[in-house]
């Protein structure tokens, strides 16, 4: 198995070790989520990474037109496709405790099984295919997505989610980010 590049000199930034710009970004992030996740501490090494992530994440949450359940399905599909165990754990916890994803749906996603809801399955499949094909999903998968009631505008919202998850998933790969205690009950692989 090929080993991938891992950050050796960069470390997570804390409020105590942050410069003025990093500290401002971390304090704003802490106000939003109540703590500084390990992922944020790593992303803020380049403040633009974390600020871009937070802006895009909030825009998707507020403006996607998707329900909280559908949003989590998109985030989980993308994170799984990218092999990010940190984000899979975090979004599994959010899905279960915050967004109200039905237990059988979350169990299917986490277990690699078909989702017991055709509309949600079409959303999950399209989201994964969008990432897998670098934005060029096949006609059959796109047709199933549209037939399930989603629009081309929602496809563009999923591109926003994929961009946000690229920032977080790739950062977590670079840092081999440890899952925070808040998400530890949802660890995978």
Residue 35 makes CB contacts below 8 A (sequence gap 6+) with 180, 182
Predicted pLDDT of residue 110: 97
pLDDT in tens, 46-74: 999 999 999 999 999 999 999 999 999 99
**What's the Cα-to-Cα distance from 39 to each of 90, 105, 112, 157, 177, rounded to whole Å?**
10, 26, 25, 23, 6
Record the pTM: 0.96
Tell me the domain boundaries of the chain: 66-186
pLDDT reading at 1 higher than 80: no
Judge: domain 66-186, CATH 1.10.150.50: no
pLDDT band at 3 (very low <50, low <70, confident <90, very high): confident
pLDDT in tens, 104-159: 999 999 999 999 999 999 999 999 999 999 999 999 999 999 999 999 999 999 99
- Chain mean position to CA 22: 22
3 state SS of 123: helix
């Amino acid at each position: 198995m090929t080993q991938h590049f891992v950050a050796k000199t960069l470390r997570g930034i804390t409020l105590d070790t942050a410069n003025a710009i990093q500290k401002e970004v971390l304090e704003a992030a802490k106000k939003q989520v109540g703590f500084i996740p390990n992922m944020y501490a790593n992303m803020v090494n380049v403040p633009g990474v974390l600020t871009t992530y937070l802006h895009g994440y909030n825009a998707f949450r507020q403006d996607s037109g998707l329900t909280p359940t559908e949003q989590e399905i998109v985030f989980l599909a993308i994170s799984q496709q990218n092999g990010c165990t940190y984000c899979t754990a975090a979004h599994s916890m959010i899905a279960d405790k915050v967004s109200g994803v039905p237990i059988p749906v979350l169990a299917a996603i986490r277990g690699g099984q078909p989702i017991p809801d055709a509309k949600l399955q079409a959303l999950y499949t399209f989201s994964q295919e969008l990432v897998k094909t670098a934005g060029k999903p096949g006609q059959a998968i796109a047709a199933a997505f549209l037939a399930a009631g989603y629009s081309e505008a929602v496809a563009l919202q999923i591109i926003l989610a994929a961009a946000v998850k690229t920032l977080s998933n790739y950062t977590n790969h670079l840092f081999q980010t440890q899952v925070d205690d808040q998400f530890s009950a949802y660890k995978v692989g």
